[in-house]
Amino acid sequence: MLMQYDYLVTGGAGFIGSHLCERLILEGKSVCVLDDLSTGHLENIERLLSSENFLFVEGSVLSADIVTECVHKCNTIIHLAAAVGVENVINRPVETIETNVSGTENVLRAARHNNSKVFIASTSEVYGKSWKVPFSEDGDIVLGATSRNRWSYACSKALDEFLALAYNHSYNLPVVICRFFNTVGPRQSGRYGMVLPRFINQALTGKPITVFGNGTQTRCFSLVNEVIDCVLKLLETPEAVGNVINIGSTEEITILELARRVREISSSNSEIVIVPYDEAYPAGFEDMQRRVPDVTKLKKMIGICPEADTETIIRLIIENGIPEGKQ
């Protein structure tokens, strides 16, 4: 008889996915992971491979047959697989769009035929250049010109949301969509431009801490374990179905101040160097000046939101270290 799993986690060998899988296994759930290891790493889930409640399938969400096979084995789908990181998005725009859009379409189509609940991981990038801060889920989306592929990621994830909501409306598929705001923590790679692990690695190795832009842009960083708390609670909340929900901390910090705190907490002598965008990225790069979530809906639904402060997060990452070969 075909073994049934409680959860399918696409992208489960990645940063967020591996932490999520550990939590689910710890709670006694059975988990199937689908990951092509393009940005995920097998060592992230190595300790889970021997569990009888865990199955790893190496494959891509772009393969409709593999997705269908995996979905057929599972009751709930947590779809995390996506192109990640600003650098990856800029350097590999075709892969970004295809992975995000076609991959999500494959997951939703298979889930519809299996009548599975689906969690779709979206992103704060969807808000684009919106000036109305904090960002509310019902606020307008303001994206840049299509000639600047920086915005292809945001657009593709917005299309994922439209598609998921259409499946909910047209086929009554239970979907929950969440926009993550700068989720960080142990095991995250700085390889694809993620700012906090990059800063910490530079500080610990004595290299210059490179701040792109002028450093006045702000972000809100959320600890991965607290984000996972929110994800799992939302999956158990009927009111979350058919909704888009922000998940993030509301502690706003400039990137320059982040660099200073990393240097101070790590007791590093690294120099902080400002690198203009036109030197760090291809010509015409644009960025969000502020990225702050409105978490009113999240708190109303589940009563919690990520609250770990930036200093605590930095210390936790330093204690655990940045994985070798993933900087």
Burial level of 298, CB count in 10 A (0-12/13-18/19+)? buried
| Dihedral (Cα; 207, 187, 287, 89), 10-degree rounding | 110
Quick one: tokens of 237? Answer: 């909340």
- Sign (positive/negative) of CA torsion 316, 320, 326, 327? positive
How many residues are there in the chain?
327
Burial level of 137, CB count in 10 A (0-12/13-18/19+)? buried
Q: Measuring CA to CA, which residue among 291, 275, 288 is closest to residue 220? A: 291
281 classed as catalytic:
no
Q: How far apart are CA 310 and CA 52, in angstroms?
A: 37
Give 198's contacts (C-beta < 8 A, 6+ positions apart): 190, 210, 327
Q: Measuring CA to CA, which residue among 41, 52, 44 is closest to residue 22? A: 44
Q: Which of 7, 127, 153, 192 is catalytic?
A: 153
Q: How far apart are CA 194 and CA 14, in angstroms?
A: 13
| Residues carrying an active site annotation | 153
